[in-house]
Amino acid sequence: MIESVEMERNPELSRDVPKLLNVTENDRFDVLKRYNVSSKGLQDIIYSIQEWYEKQPHLPKGKLDNHMIFQHLMLKGFSIEEVKDKIDNCVSAKRKMPEILLNRDPLEPRINEYLKFGFLVVLPKKTPRNHRVTIFRIKQPIDLVASDVVKIASMFLAYRMYNDSSLGEQWIFDLTNVSFHNSVQMTPALLTKLIFYLRFCYGAKIKGIHFVNMPSFIIPIINILKKLMKPKVAKRIYVYSSFNDLNNLISKTILPKEYGGDEITCDEITENWRKALQSDAWIEYFAEEDKVMSDEALRTRILNSDDFFGLEGSFRKLEVD
């Protein structure tokens, strides 16, 4: 069944995967083996989710392909009901936070500038525990629009949602060049929207959040994050005085050269991602995604995430798994 799922994938959307994510077909077979799912079982699950989707009056018809169902299943550990909610959230969240999830044009001048700058460095190689490592950095002082940085993060995650295969996330925040002005833009509302997307749309399994070279004005942001997260995830937030303290966690064999590793440089990784996201296929993908909207007036099902929105769409307290 994996073969039929793979045939459905748009090859142009996955053209750069070997370079960016180093994912192989064995990675996907390993996930199926881990969750004890047979090819026939996978086929039945995908069919049942497609059948469910087409019956939802508020969701746009014919807009869910089998490959994306497979990717959602991997990210949610083959929990069918969670995958249904996740698919619903991916569509309906666009109305809740359009400033992040709509108009994601990779060629828009500021998005283009930020893609070149390289705020996010997704390492091509995973850890031995099959965790994906992402480094957030500001390589030199810069004034930025935080909501656009979060929008770019959603674009990276959209690419990964389509192509990646991993069992966890390790996020490293190199705060060396972060200014106070940068930090105050990370408002509680924006942080909450980001976490909502990570949990309910992407489905991140957060295994570690690592802050390095942290100035004191970042402490309030960390406190907000801890309040938004479940205690088990909040305990996975770590603070380090230097990047060397991470050597026991992240091997030099997967780190970029700027961080003492043996891999390619952050700038090379940045350029590879820019070219991929600005390819014709991904420009078209993001443009088409803008058209895939829910009709909330026709909604008949309640989402597990509904409690996190007030009557006018404002966010309530979130807990992140």
What domains are defined for the chain? Answer: 1-321 (3.40.525.10)
pLDDT at 292 over 90: yes
Q: How far is CA 175 from the centre of its chain?
A: 20
Q: Are strands 120-122 and 131-137 parallel, antiparallel or unpaired?
A: antiparallel
The 10s digit of each residue's pLDDT in 16-36 is 999 999 998 788 888 888 899
Contacts of 83-86 with CB under 8 Å at 24 or more apart are 83/49, 84/49, 84/52, 84/53, 85/200, 85/303, 85/304, 85/305, 86/200, 86/201, 86/203
Averaged pLDDT of the chain: 90
Instruction: Please tell me the pTM assigned to this model.
Output: 0.92
Residue 69's CB is within 10 A of a number of other CB atoms, namely: 22
Closest CA to 17 of 287, 277, 258: 277
The 10s digit of each residue's pLDDT in 84-129 is 999 999 999 999 999 999 999 999 999 999 999 999 999 999 999 9
The 10s digit of each residue's pLDDT in 166-222 is 889 999 999 999 999 999 999 989 998 998 899 889 988 899 999 999 999 999 999
Mean pLDDT of 272-287: 98
pLDDT at 265 over 90: yes
